[in-house]
Amino acid sequence: MNAKAFTSPLRVDFLILGSGAAGLLAAARLQRHGRVAIVSKGTTHDSNTWFAQGGIAGVLAADDSVENHVQDTLAAGAGLCRESVVREIIRRSGAIIRELIDIGTTFDTHGEALHLTREGGHSKRRIAHARDATGRAIARALQAQLGADVLRLCGYTAIDLITSHHIGDYSGPNRCLGCYLLAPNGQVLSVAARHTILATGGAGKVYLYTSNPHGASGDGIAMAWRAGCTIANMEFIQFHPTCLFHRDGSNLLLSEALRGEGAHIVDAQGRRFVFDYDPRGELAPRDIVARAIDHEMKKQGTDCMFLDARPLGEATIQRQFPNIQRSLQRLGLDLNRAPVPIVPAAHYTCGGIDTRLDGSTAIENLHAIGEVACSGLHGANRLASNSLLECLVMADCCAQTILSHPAPAPRHIPAWDDSGVEPEGERIPIKQNWEEIRATMSHYVGIVRSNERLRRAKRRLLLIQHEIDDYFWRHPVSRDLIELRNLAQVALLIVRSAQMRHESRGLHYSTDYPLTLPEARETLIPPAEESKT
């Protein structure tokens, strides 16, 4: 349905922000029970799901078990996983993957059985995949399930959530009433909804090197924080060990499945150095491999290490990794001919909005699912290919909860107030602050951290945030300005979380606190702490 026919305010039953796997499945589950609107900042392809390569983990093989998968997940999570959530998501893994097959997802097969690969941290082959474009195959199958009545708002950017407290109603608990959206024509659309679902993904763009698409600016996390949600475990940013190091392809991910099938990580002399850090070598969990690469780069004074896929052979590369190979060849590189330069890059946000398994948040009628949420599945380090699984199971549980708890009809919400704004004189402050945030985070809040680095980052980010806040309320909103505001907020939440953790655990490594404490505790930042950030 064409959204341009609507004017503000728009009323729907279910407002879904984000069109990745979580948002798409939620929309498919809810579409027969009310009016659904699904919002995308760009096209429906502009999501981390669309770019996900490796696959989706699940208990599918005869020699595997739920308990095996649970134990691998708990081990990767370094004591911070919520075990009940882990068990429930993995218990549902086989059923959700079979449903994907039933709706037309084209997973690779070996004979009549699924072809399962293995990735770092897994004790068994349990990754279902569609060559090296699994997310795209899943997204296409889910998009095909949406009927013509689903309202697709492409090119719309969420500005802020609207809550009862936001409009001055303190007669009861804080309730989400909808959202303000920036339309492609520059107008602000007010959308009232019974239920609002955040499925906006992570915040990889807070770093210079990332595998994420441009839109991964932490919008859902920042909006939920401003609305009154608790944020959990934001210090745990997963850096994928093998992102291409190339000025024209800096967000090209070289799937972990390459290493699962036998590719080696080497230095410029061809030495497989990861075994110096862990006996599992390239198949160690991502935090270990990323730190090994980072340490070797610093020790050797180089800008990158290398991934050598030649041991796989040309037939395996062509069969399982054709899209990666084509992307590299366009840049003058070839997996069959020589090692490819790599660098660790921000890949996945393990923390996020504190939720239950069904996406419930501290705000009534506001739900968060997928990477934007901190459900407790990943703990201090996400096990490879558990993310798509989490997206789908959370979406399923979220829809069930929503349908079993009807909300009142959408109420009147105020129009966006842009009184007193003045035209922008120049865009340079936006560009400069965007670059400074990403450089600050990469230099001071990366794979290895220290108290002094975090203090420096916080000082710089607070100054930037003050500039952005002043600019935001004085000028018309734009997508760039909205994303910049959110990026600064999320960067500060990451720094604050990192400062609160006085140990090294999982993805968070501090030179000042190199040991792991006996008791694992989550880092929770309630909204009341905003003034102290």
Q: Which residues are catalytic?
A: 286
Q: What are phi and psi of 306, to 5 degrees?
A: -140, 150
Distance (Å, whole) CA 145 – CA 36: 13
Residue 158 · residue 190 · CB < 8 Å: no
Residue 492 · residue 458 · CB < 8 Å: yes
CA of residue 484 relative to chain centroid, distance = 17
Q: Give the list of residues 6+ apart from residue 361 with CB closer than 8 angstroms, or none.
A: 224, 229, 353, 354, 355, 367, 368
Query: Nearest to residue 350, comparing CAs of 168, 122, 80, 140?
Result: 80
The radius of gyration computed from the CA coordinates of the chain, to the nearest angstrom, equals 22
Distance (Å, whole) CA 286 – CA 384: 8
Residue 247 CB neighbour total at 10 angstroms:
6
Q: 434 in helix, strand or coil?
A: helix
Token pair in block for residue 408: 């009142």
Q: Give the list of residues 6+ apart from residue 89 with CB closer than 8 angstroms, or none.
A: 357, 375, 377, 386, 389, 390, 393, 394
Q: CA distances (Å), 62 to each of 73, 126, 524, in order?
A: 19, 10, 39
Residue 267 · residue 274 · CB < 8 Å: no
Per-residue DSSP letter, 458:
H
Per-residue DSSP letter, 382:
P
Distance (Å, whole) CA 459 – CA 454: 9
Q: CA distances (Å), 300 to each of 273, 282, 297, in order?
A: 12, 19, 5
